[in-house]
Amino acid sequence: MDQLWTPWRMKYLENEAHPEDCPFCLALKDEKRADSHLVFRGEKTFVILNRFPYATGHLLILPLEHQEKLSELDQETRAELMEMINHAMEVLQEVYQPNGFNVGLNMGGAAGAGIPKHLHWHVVPRWSGDTNYMTVAGGVRVLPELLEDTFLKIQSAW
């Protein structure tokens, strides 16, 4: 039997055992740590590299305020979120030249939010022909670049 080792996932699994600890808020508190992958901190929002990406360059855009409903955010925060989403796509276009993007918000556990208590938008660059059967058949994602390299490229372009 072949084995696929993914030791980096243990942090994710351990966090599931302590759902009261928001990994996004923890990254903000300790933003100087190299593994926080904090790309940018704005006045009301921040951008972080997804630790468990669907594709290389998968970013998360979040309000600084720990909220689970869009209606709980003020107008200025909602406006800054949209500007950050737009800027994230511009940066990813410059760095990786994708053919398109998936941008989305899963609000609530029933909608698929892995961390439903802190709103976060996914910005995922996509390329023509980038889908494969590894994810469908094997439950495995193939990423051509280390997260640290992705982070450095995106942060320097931001």
Residues catalogued as catalytic: 120
To the nearest 10 degrees (0 to 180), the angle between helices 147-157 and 75-96 is 110
Cβ atoms within 10 Å, residue 39:
20
Q: What is the 3-state secondary structure (H, E, C) of 50-97?
A: CCCCCCCCCEEEEECCCCCCHHHCCHHHHHHHHHHHHHHHHHHHHHHC
54 alpha carbon, distance to own chain's centre? 9
